[in-house]
Structure 1
Amino acid sequence: MGKNNALHEQDKDAQGEKLVTGRLQMIPKDPAKEFKRTTLAAGAVLWRGDLSDIDSIEVACIHRPGYDDWSLAKGKVDPAESLPVTAVREILEETGYEVRLGKLLGRTIYPVLDRTKVVYYWTGEVIGGEFAPNEEVDEIRWLPIAEAQDIMTYDLDREVLVKAEKRFRLPATSRILYVRHAKAHEREKWAGDDNLRPLEKKGRRQAEMLVPMLAPFGPDRIYSAVPDRCQQTVAPLADELGLDVIVDKRLGDDGLIDDLVGAQQAFMDVVNEGGVSVIVSQGLSIPDVIAWLSANGRLPIDIEIKAKKASVWVLSFNNGELTGADYLPSPLPVR
């Protein structure tokens, strides 16, 4: 996208692009370097209502007095933040609402002065809080999606709402946060039982940073494969949420190798519990299980299924079938 010093935030439709197509969304390894001068931001389509009745769903339309426009809640990334962390912080600061993140809808891209602004949007169910007018947002209107599209100032925001409506019409009855363990000490330098190989310094930091990134999805339960590095990866999150870690050999590489069908059934048992579950696993299991879910679900995945250390796949299911997948490559700050 070329440089254009005449374009500002309120001109974002002029040369904007929307990348909100498809139920498979992948954040780049280093999103801040996607363009020469990138400004990263994140937000959400705030919603309330009952997903079993699409007519009951209302979304939040945000009025910004500084621009005199109607848009979606969003804001720029602060240092030390991952994109989901930015989304929930900015929403709380702008609107006073606490949200539970859901599906990553994609991103919009547009030039602002000599930079390229990239905004990632999730769905965000309001679970608490209260709006009070402030300098950034002086009014919020809760409207059905069709009316919200009419009031929005920008076409890019309307397209995000169109994508959100599609997700609401096929809602997630369960969601899995499928985490690969954080960076551990090198296998070649570890003489003991491989299951006892612990996290190294970077891995411990990754584990700590997973807490603010995963907590906004509202996990109900946490599972881990047997290796200590898997359990150590999720220990800070479990401590923060006050949840026990359920250890199951079938959810790791050894379980997959020993009994493929049993490993697949163990994963589906978690899916069928409903709600949001965390599963911490390993580099062999994660791509294999996701490929199997894709082949037997409603979401074709015909690209390489990545699983970097401490990465997260946010998998959405409708009545046991895979319907959406979002890849978050790292919990570490994006700037």
Structure 2
Amino acid sequence: MSITSTTVVAAGAVLFRFVDGKSRVLLIHRDHHGDVSLPKGKVDPGESTPQAAVREIREETGYRVSLGAPLGHVEYVMPGGRDKIVHYWAAEVTDEAFTAAGDFTPNSEVGAIEWVSIDKARTKLTYERDAEVLDRFADRVATKRARTFALVALRHAKTTSPGDWDGSDATRPLLPAGRKQAKSIAPGIAAWAPQRIVSSTAARCLATLEPLSALTRVGVKQTDSISQDAFERGTDDVAGVVAKRLKKRASAVLCSHGPVLPELIRQIALGTKGGDRLDLRRASSLSTGEYTVLHVSVDDASLVAVETHGPVA
């Protein structure tokens, strides 16, 4: 399906919990549709799909979640004849999020929610397309790759060109368009709730991260180890920075430069199980303001999925 101006784009997730070692997934009952489905909703103007997924989950179910690895998308034609595409992720409802949400209160979209086993969910879902998404998640559970952490490789936003700047390369500032990009991408990256934000010492990287840091309330750690200047001098330590993040097994953002990012992503792939077999050329060729999210299994450090996003037009 090609996306046109009339295509409805939506985003959602398979919400899951592990209770006594057994997986449970969330189904929603929509009274006005008379169906049982997975939580999802339309992307609002100016939103990215990850941002929309987190918002819709909160509005429909009451749960505050961060996204896990993507589960692909489904396409279908709506009753009125318009095309619709829905992007899905896995998203764990932690014990803290489950407790904080309290008892579910019916809303205009959802009349009831239900936590069930994967097998029972298959029998209850109204639409085969939802069952297909559930099956993708079931494969993750079976291979112990449901729980993941995200390493976000981000290229700084649009910057003043070297020819228009009299200072050192590291001090080049963002253009107004770059500041707009930085603000645009922050909510999308925040959908993975990074616990650490690491940046090149270059001014353009630090400025790119300002909106994200403010939104997530996570401070920015500066390091010359992933700067372009150090990379070109051969004094970088990209491998060391990546190894530390993989060892921590917690979601993090690494903001760097066009020449550095292919090596940064290569090091992530080399440090994960199966990552060296993937073609990551598109993931490494980022335009300004774009970011690649590499999802790594908490259990066995395998590279589960890779996705790339950018500023919202």
Structure 1 length-normalised TM: 0.82
Maintained 8 Å contact 1:37/1:114 = no
Provide the C-alpha distance between the structure 2 equivalents of 1:44 and 1:293, rounded to a whole number of angstroms: 25
Provide the C-alpha distance between the structure 1 equivalents of 2:259 and 2:65, rounded to a whole number of angstroms: 33
CA RMSD, 1 decimal: 2.2
Maintained 8 Å contact 2:157/2:205 = yes
- Match of 2:166, SS state, is coil
Residue 285 of structure 1 aligns with which residue? 260
Q: Structure 2 vs 1, CA of residues 257 and 264 (structure 1 numbering), >3 Å: closer, same or farther?
A: farther
Q: Does 1:78 align with 2:65?
A: no
Q: CA deviation at 1:36?
A: 6.2
- Match of 1:63, SS state, is strand
Residue 317 of structure 1 aligns with which residue? 296
Q: Does 1:187 align with 2:162?
A: yes
Q: Does 1:144 align with 2:117?
A: yes
Residue 223 of structure 1 aligns with which residue? 198
Q: CA deviation at 1:302?
A: 2.4
Residue 301 of structure 1 aligns with which residue? 278
Provide the C-alpha distance between the structure 2 equivalents of 1:323 and 1:266, rounded to a whole number of angstroms: 21
- Match of 2:28, SS state, is strand
Q: CA deviation at 1:134?
A: 1.9
Residues 41-97 of structure 1 show CA distances to partners (whole Å, capped at 9, x for unaligned) of 1111111226xx7x5221111111122111110111111211112111111211121
Provide the C-alpha distance between the structure 1 equivalents of 2:312 and 2:76, rounded to a whole number of angstroms: 25
**Structure 1 unmatched runs, 5+:** 2-32
- Match of 2:237, SS state, is helix
Provide the C-alpha distance between the structure 1 equivalents of 2:269 and 2:131, rounded to a whole number of angstroms: 29
Q: Does 1:238 align with 2:213?
A: yes
Provide the C-alpha distance between the structure 1 equivalents of 2:258 and 2:23, rounded to a whole number of angstroms: 39
Q: Structure 2 vs 1, CA of residues 85 and 174 (structure 1 numbering), >3 Å: closer, same or farther?
A: closer
Q: CA deviation at 1:293?
A: 3.6
Q: Superposition pairs for residues 239-258 of structure 1, below 5 Å?
A: 239-258=214-233
Q: Superposition pairs for residues 82-231 of structure 1, below 5 Å?
A: 82-112=48-78, 113-126=80-93, 127=97, 128-130=100-102, 131-168=104-141, 169-172=144-147, 174-231=149-206
Q: CA deviation at 1:118?
A: 0.6
- Match of 1:98, SS state, is coil
User: Which structure exhibits the higher relative contact order, with contacts defined as CA atoms closer than 8 Å and separated by 6 or more residues?
Assistant: 1
Give, as a single letter, the amino acid of the residue that structure 1 aligns with 2:101. G
Residue 44 of structure 1 aligns with which residue? 13
Provide the C-alpha distance between the structure 1 equivalents of 2:236 and 2:170, rounded to a whole number of angstroms: 22
Q: CA deviation at 1:195?
A: 0.4
Q: Does 1:275 align with 2:255?
A: no
Q: CA deviation at 1:276?
A: 0.9
Q: Structure 2 vs 1, CA of residues 283 and 205 (structure 1 numbering), >3 Å: closer, same or farther?
A: same
Provide the C-alpha distance between the structure 2 equivalents of 1:161 and 1:222, rounded to a whole number of angstroms: 32
Residues 308-332 of structure 1 show CA distances to partners (whole Å, capped at 9, x for unaligned) of 211121112234443321111x132
Give, as a single letter, the amino acid of the residue that structure 1 aligns with 2:170. N
Provide the C-alpha distance between the structure 2 equivalents of 1:141 and 1:194, rounded to a whole number of angstroms: 55
Give, as a single letter, the amino acid of the residue that structure 2 aligns with 1:228. A
Provide the C-alpha distance between the structure 1 equivalents of 2:167 and 2:128, rounded to a whole number of angstroms: 58
Provide the C-alpha distance between the structure 1 equivalents of 2:160 and 2:174, rounded to a whole number of angstroms: 6
- Match of 2:69, SS state, is strand
Residues 198-251 of structure 1 show CA distances to partners (whole Å, capped at 9, x for unaligned) of 111111112122322122211111100121100111122212333221111122
Structure 2 length-normalised TM: 0.87
Provide the C-alpha distance between the structure 2 equivalents of 1:161 and 1:259, rounded to a whole number of angstroms: 46
Provide the C-alpha distance between the structure 2 equivalents of 1:259 and 1:317, rounded to a whole number of angstroms: 28
Provide the C-alpha distance between the structure 1 equivalents of 2:126 and 2:82, rounded to a whole number of angstroms: 22
